[in-house]
Amino acid sequence: MKRLSALLVLASLAFAAAPARADEGMWTFDAFPSAKVKAAYGFAPSQAWLDHVRRSVARIPGCSSSFVSPQGLLLTNHHCALGCVAALSSKEHNYAEAGFYAEKLEDEVACPNFEALRLDSISDVTAAMDAATKGKTGSARVDASRAKQRELTTACSKPPAVRCDLVVLYHGAVSKLYKYDRSTDVRLVFAPEERIAQFGGDPDNFNFPRYDLDMSLLRAYKDGKPLETTDYLKWNPQGTKDGDLVFVAGHPGSTQRELTVSQLTYLRDVSFPRVIPALAEWRGILEEYQMIGPEERRTTDQTLFFLDNAYKVQVGHEQALLEPDFFGQKVAEERALRVAIAKRPEMQKRYGRAWDDLAAVQRKKAELALTQQYVAGGPQGALWGAARGLVRIANPLPNAPEAAGQGADAARRRLLSPVPIQPGREELQMAFWAKRLREDLGADDPFVKKVLGSQSPQEWAHVLVTTTKLSDLNYRRSLLDGGKAAIDASDDPLVKAVASIDADARAAQRRYEDEVAGPEGKAAQDVARARFAVYGTSTYPDATFTLRLSYGAVKGFTSARGPVASYTKVGGLYDRATGRDPFRLPKRLIDAKGSLDPNVPMNLSSTNDITGGNSGSPLIDKDGRVVGLAFDGNIYSLGGEYGFDPVRNRTVSVDSRAMGLALTSVYKAQRIAVELGL
């Protein structure tokens, strides 16, 4: 009951104006509201507690994780390690299907292109950033900001072990430098079968009650040996009980709670009506492609998994904005802030125009949306990305991300990734892009003609994918090492195709920065400062895929169907299994049924305020021990993109007791059980 649920939850929301309400907030570690937690739960994390947790948590690509042993063992979700599992799999060994366990330390296998980042320190660089962009507009502002960012991060970083990121909080009102310890040798230790990790699949995704063993274990290595660390979280095999205070430490990716009404209107009326049907069509294509055979299924499983998830998320976001009461609340809040600013002439002079500026930018954004998507953006996929990376590295623009510093490192790293490229999926993806390009811009558009010539979209994709040699890592390396001369001389059809339209792409990007990104950045910063001016700085910033801490309690909720208890149990997993995907249990679980206590808690629900990117975050008790592993939210959590609903928004985690039971009794992972102290 997706639609009804969204309507019902939102009708019950009453969003806080400025001070965050009970359990709300994804707080930075340097501004955690300990006093507030103390008042609500009788416990305040000490500075030592905060420092220890901060150092025990690591960011990994797209997700969060935590150290759970002194030998660098990392706990995260299965879906966070799925990229590694898929990259290590082949037609012969499908670890998503069969699961993976390294019986011995030597069996642990390196995950291609993985890294783990531990936050070491945070410093404020707002003044430096402000000075760099002062008085600048459009792409000049984007350039100045990027140049200062590069200067600050380069000065701070010591590759490969120390990485520094500029973190823009409150839409630019505050800038911080985050310094990370970085591990680039991360290996796969344990992953259960995807069928139990994602039991219930897409139908159960963002639902609770839930029965997933969405866990995996990785290990960080240093100099070829397990990374030794004193900053790790101990395991609590007893878990939690209803009402217990729990924390989630991790890296929420993005929220949009600070957006203005015109920005939200753009999302609701321009962006979602275009993006969601495109995702839906792509989903239909992939679903049908998977019917061809097991190899087609294997090579697109990961893509479809994340697509299904993204689709549900986007629909949830759209539904939230379509709810009139909720949107009305946003309108009312904005009006109140503007009235407050208008009463202070100095503030009004400084910030009063910002909302109208943002509204004007949204109109320009709508006008440039298709150009930005197709001309500046281009197709998704590894092959096109590699070709574009090579062309741009060979012909760098001074201010482009790939020109120097971290951006250049990342671009080289992507190009030299050993992850196998799947030509079937690449062709499907490029053909779909080209089809939509022609559909959205029209067959008579000059850019469309330049790309396709007289070819059909399918033909264009097929010819490029089957004739390029960029699937070959050595070939990519030779072009990269050969520099501009090699690219200019290359007769690789995909390199030539990218090169032939790259000037258009860069011009479109520049125009977008001049007319949209630059002005929007400036005005959004002003709105944030206006908010500080009226409400103070005691609130948390929108999520930015950087380390945050949220607090809450183990607690159920009431759905459209009635009350939902906080815990599910192992027995419920077996009750729910139908023998058919996605409700089909792997053989190991079926075999183990008789030996498992059906009353062991499986998944649990808590009031923590998290979002995508928090996947893999530990659920921590007040003693700093692991009591669970966050992997999802309930359906009411999707509206959390724009505001927190304490009544029904819930974090969904795997219970530490279920993880322990699985490792010891199902997977017989004795080596790891001992390491965890189980």
Q: How far is the CB of 653 from its own copies (least distance, A)?
A: 20
Query: 276 or 331: whose CB is closer to its own copies?
Result: 276
Phi, psi of 555 (to 5 degrees): -165, 140
Q: How far is the CB of 369 from its own copies (least distance, A)?
A: 7
Measured from the Cβ of residue 173, the count of other Cβ atoms closer than 10 Å reads 21
Query: 105 or 560: whose CB is closer to its own copies?
Result: 560
SS3 205: coil
Q: How far is the CB of 118 from its own copies (least distance, A)?
A: 39
Closest CA to 353 of 367, 341, 365: 341
DSSP result, 238-301: T---TT-EEEEEE------TT--HHHHHHIIIIIHHHHHHHHHHHHHHHHHHHTT-HHHHHHHH
Query: 302 or 362: whose CB is closer to its own copies?
Result: 362
Spatial distance between the Cα atoms of 91 and 374, rounded to a whole number of angstroms: 34
Which amino acid is it at 144?
Answer: A
Query: 8 or 419: whose CB is closer to its own copies?
Result: 8
Which residues are CB-neighbours of 441 under 8 A, at least 6 positions away? 370, 374, 447, 448
DSSP result, 636-654: GGGGGGT---TTT--EEEE
Spatial distance between the Cα atoms of 347 and 77, rounded to a whole number of angstroms: 46
Query: 225 or 363: whose CB is closer to its own copies?
Result: 363
Q: How far is the CB of 202 from its own copies (least distance, A)?
A: 7
Q: Which residues of 266-285 are buried (b: 16+ CB within 10 A; e: fewer)?
A: bbbebbbeebbeebeebbeb
112 upstream amide cis, omega within 30 of 0: no
Q: How far is the CB of 100 from its own copies (least distance, A)?
A: 26
Q: How far is the CB of 309 from its own copies (least distance, A)?
A: 13
Spatial distance between the Cα atoms of 187 and 88, rounded to a whole number of angstroms: 11
Q: How far is the CB of 468 from its own copies (least distance, A)?
A: 21
Query: 262 or 550: whose CB is closer to its own copies?
Result: 262
Query: 418 or 562: whose CB is closer to its own copies?
Result: 562
Q: How far is the CB of 463 from its own copies (least distance, A)?
A: 12
Query: 10 or 164: whose CB is closer to its own copies?
Result: 10
Query: 7 or 517: whose CB is closer to its own copies?
Result: 7
Query: 24 or 504: whose CB is closer to its own copies?
Result: 504
Query: 276 or 673: whose CB is closer to its own copies?
Result: 276
Measured from the Cβ of residue 20, the count of other Cβ atoms closer than 10 Å reads 18
Phi, psi of 213 (to 5 degrees): -105, 65
CA atoms within 13 A on the CB side of 523: 22
Query: 120 or 459: whose CB is closer to its own copies?
Result: 459
Q: How far is the CB of 167 from its own copies (least distance, A)?
A: 34
Spatial distance between the Cα atoms of 275 and 311, rounded to a whole number of angstroms: 9
Maximum CA pair distance of the chain?
74
Measured from the Cβ of residue 254, the count of other Cβ atoms closer than 10 Å reads 12
Closest CA to 357 of 338, 382, 330: 338
Q: What residues line the site for its own copies (CB under 8 A)? A: 1-4, 7, 200, 202-204, 207, 269-270, 272-274, 276-289, 291-292, 315, 318-319, 322, 324, 366-367, 369-370, 438-445, 454-456, 458-459, 561, 578-581, 583
Spatial distance between the Cα atoms of 659 and 239, rounded to a whole number of angstroms: 11
Q: How far is the CB of 674 from its own copies (least distance, A)?
A: 38
Is residue 188 a contact partner of residue 669, using CB atoms and an 8 Å limit?
no
Q: Which residues of 367-404 are buried (b: 16+ CB within 10 A; e: fewer)?
A: ebbbbbbbbbebbebbbbbbbbbbbbbbbeeebbbbbe
Is residue 631 a contact partner of residue 212, using CB atoms and an 8 Å limit?
yes
Q: How far is the CB of 281 from its own copies (least distance, A)?
A: 4
Query: 273 or 483: whose CB is closer to its own copies?
Result: 273
Q: How far is the CB of 575 from its own copies (least distance, A)?
A: 12
Spatial distance between the Cα atoms of 349 and 352, rounded to a whole number of angstroms: 6
Q: How far is the CB of 506 from its own copies (least distance, A)?
A: 22
Q: How far is the CB of 373 from its own copies (least distance, A)?
A: 11
Query: 30 or 295: whose CB is closer to its own copies?
Result: 295
Q: Give me the residue label for tokens 């000065």.
A: 155
Q: How far is the CB of 519 from its own copies (least distance, A)?
A: 20
The continuous run of DSSP H or E covering 169 comes out as strand 162-169
Here the tokens at position 141 are 């502002």
Query: 278 or 565: whose CB is closer to its own copies?
Result: 278
